[in-house]
Structure 1
Amino acid sequence: MSIKEGYIEVTGGNVWYELHGESTNHTPVIVLHGGPGSSFYSMQGIRILAKDRPVIFYDQLGCGKSDRPTDPSLWKLDRFVEELRQIRDALSLKDFHILGHSWGTTLAAAYYLSHPQGVKSVIFSSPCLSAPLWAEDQKENRLQLPLEVQKKLKTNEENGTTKSDEYKEATKIFNKHFVCRLDPYPEFLKKGAHYRNPEVYNIMWGPSEFHVTGNLRDFDCTSRLKDFEVPTLYTCGRYDEATPKSTMFFRSLTPNGKSHVFENSAHMPYLEEPEEYIRVIGEFLREVDSND
């Protein structure tokens, strides 16, 4: 299987990309990783889809192998949408599928709603399409944690001490419940921690998954999900912080919406149930292509 990699100039710097597979009769899929400020690193297993079609990964500006400029004005949704458009143009993508995960679904939605041309389908994997609704869901999720953990989270947030070791340890317990339930936690994920950029995450989202204080805190595109005119797949884990309840709500607002819940996963089904994840995503993409 061929692999091509390189850099593309975008607003603010250069982003690194990797293209797996060769041109076939099947439409390419471009993968939008989570974060903000994470990288494609944890999603590299999705390259298996390249046996059917070209698969394009890239590290968004500020993280992974891409440039890390220090200008905080770059960390806005509109610039990331423009970044994706610049990547599409540089790679001459006429028609393509979008697979977004977590924050990548926010980016996917914003991109499609402003640049629908050429997008054949959208996959919202563990969607965050309403930051206020996400925040409400995490309030409910936190109630499932041990009382002592809940207290530590609340106290540190009230005191503005979210960088404390106590808060970080309590956050790890939340993550074991709702982000990645694999035990032991995968070693390769620990090795990839340096690809993250906490500054981007803090500016755009906040100090943790469940304490939303960044510039995305008011993002909500639910009123526009009716405008999606392409096949749309919503997926999440049964124990996902992107809750099945909200995921099904988003699907109900989408004319061509389908859904799938990964029964043994939290927020990372591509690691927690990799074979099932590839099966579901692959079948959806093949079905869309076959209906052309």
Structure 2
Amino acid sequence: MMWREMEPDERIEVAVDGYKVIAYSFGSGDDVLFLLNGGPGLPCDYVRDSHSCLVDEGYRVVAFDQLGCGASDRPTDPALWTIERYVAETETVRQALRLGRVHLLGQSWGGWLGIEYALTHPEALKSLILENTAADMPHLVSELARLRGALGPETVAMMQAHEADGSIDHPEYQAAITLLNYRHVCRLAHWPAPVLRSVNDWNMGPYGTMQGPNEFLYTGNLKDWNRVPDLHRIELPVLITVGRHDELTPACAMRMKLHLKDAELHVFPNSSHLPFFEEPAAYYPVLVDFLGRNRNRR
């Protein structure tokens, strides 16, 4: 199995609180893989195009551009950018498309959303797949500080000075972020087209409000978010995947596994934040095996 770009069988407009959200559906059947992309503020292209190939295994695959992203409406009211509103939006899309109980796959920010959704709507899920994500933001911030530290003390001091005086658009600061991105977001020399499409159309409104100005500085309304104390309430089978070099590190993944009742964890040794593109030959068998074992859960 290998990812490929394909046209959706359906492109569906869903009304969410007076706004238009666009969903994409591939294949058919009762076993639905429902995708939540990262960001916040990223079009779903990169996660949609890397997982639509699951139709080959008999799954219906559904993704959507979250409000503020891609082909969906892009309002500018910062009050809209909360995890609670995105949980409600996810449920609205699931019900509008009559998906029934789904296998929910959340990647990066989509994993935080997936955790929050699973705690709010456990009856809607057959299984939960948490990819390249975390459940404890303060712990993640400490892990990001460790990754930044590997750049060396002079570079760290430079970054901290720019962050303190608000000059993070400076070329030397941006150079450090670029290096971190190629180490810990995608280690491929040339990023795949779906990744570039998503990244080049990033809406920094939701992203800045919820997360911060870049992948390595958390200043938004999620910076204190921590669901580790509640993970024991998730009784579904959970698959956790992480890249060995992931910005949302293996330590973050292990922290989730230790607090979940029924979780398995797979670390991809040659990947960072996008194993489905960086290491597809290792990634897809793990996902297909997990889905297969939980296909007929009632």
TM-score, L = length of structure 2: 0.92
* Alignment match, 2:45: 41
Structure 2 residue 130 is the aligned partner of structure 1 residue 124: yes
1:146-225 matches, within 5 Å, as 146-186=152-192, 189-225=195-231
Q: Does 2:146 align with 1:143?
A: no
| Residue aligned with 1:73, SS | helix
1:76 to 63, 79, 82: 82
1:235-254 equivalences under 5 Å are: 235-254=241-260
Q: Whole-Å Cα distance in 1 between the matches of residues 231 and 93 of structure 2?
A: 24
Question: What is the CA–CA distance in structure 2 between the aligned matches of 1:195 and 1:184, rounded to whole Å?
Answer: 18
3-state secondary structure, aligned to 1:57: strand
- Report the Cα distance in structure 1 between the residues aligned to 2:121 and 2:297, rounded to whole angstroms: 22
Give the SS at the match of 1:129.
Answer: coil
Helix, strand or coil: the match of 1:7? strand
Aligned-pair Cα RMSD in Å: 1.7
Shift of 1:115: 1.1
Q: Which 4+ runs in 1 deviate beyond 4 A?
A: none
Q: Which amino acid aligns with 1:50?
A: V
Rounded Cα–Cα distance in structure 1 between residues aligned with 2:156 and 2:94: 43
How far off is 1:103 after superposition?
Answer: 0.5
Residues 202 and 214 of structure 1 are in contact (CA less than 8 Å); yes or no, is this contact kept in structure 2? yes
| Distance of 1:188 and 1:112 partners within structure 2 | 27
SS in 2 for 1:98: strand
Taking the aligned partners of 1:273 and 1:201, their CA distance within structure 2 comes to 27
Q: Distance in 2 between matches of 1:238 and 1:12?
A: 42
| Contact preservation (8 Å) 2:45, 2:197 | no
For structure 2, which runs of at least 5 residues remain unmatched after alignment?
1-5
For the residues of structure 2 that align with 1:5 and 1:279, how far apart are their CA atoms?
28
Separation (CA, whole Å) in 2 of partners of 1:203 and 1:273 = 32
One-letter code of the match for 1:47? S
Take 1:189 and 1:246, find their aligned partners in 2: how far apart are those partners? 23
3-state DSSP of counterpart to 1:174: helix
Question: 1:245-279 deviations in whole A, cap 9, x for unaligned?
Answer: 22112101111011100111001111101232222
**Equivalent AA in structure 2 for residue 46 of structure 1:** H
**For residues 200 and 18 of structure 2, what CA distance do their matches in structure 1 show?**
21
Query: Structure 1 unaligned runs (5+)?
Result: none
Identity across aligned pairs (percent)? 35
Partner of 2:94: 88
Which residue is 2:68 aligned to? 62
Gap change, CA 1:81 and 1:4, over 3 Å in 2: same
- Residue 291 (structure 1) shift: 5.4
Q: CA deviation at 1:164?
A: 2.9
Distance 1:191 1:88, change over 3 A: closer
Give the aligned partner of residue 226 of structure 1.
Answer: 232
Q: The residue matched to 2:134 in structure 1 has which SS? A: coil
| Match in the other structure for 1:105 | 111
Q: Distance in 2 between matches of 1:165 and 1:66?
A: 32
**CA deviation string 1:36-93 (max 9, x = no partner):** 1112111212111112210001110001111101111101111100100100110112
2:128 aligned counterpart, secondary structure: strand
Distance 2:221 2:236 in 1: 28
1:117 is paired with a residue whose SS is helix
Q: Which amino acid aligns with 2:229?
A: S
Q: Is the 8 A contact 1:32 1:108 kept in 2?
A: yes
Match among 18, 21, 25 for residue 24 of structure 2: 18
Which TM-score applies when normalising by structure 1? 0.94
**Number of paired residues?**
290
Separation in 2, partners of 1:260, 1:33: 19
Cα distance in 1 between the residues matched to 2:207 and 2:18: 17
Q: Distance in 2 between matches of 1:129 and 1:217?
A: 11
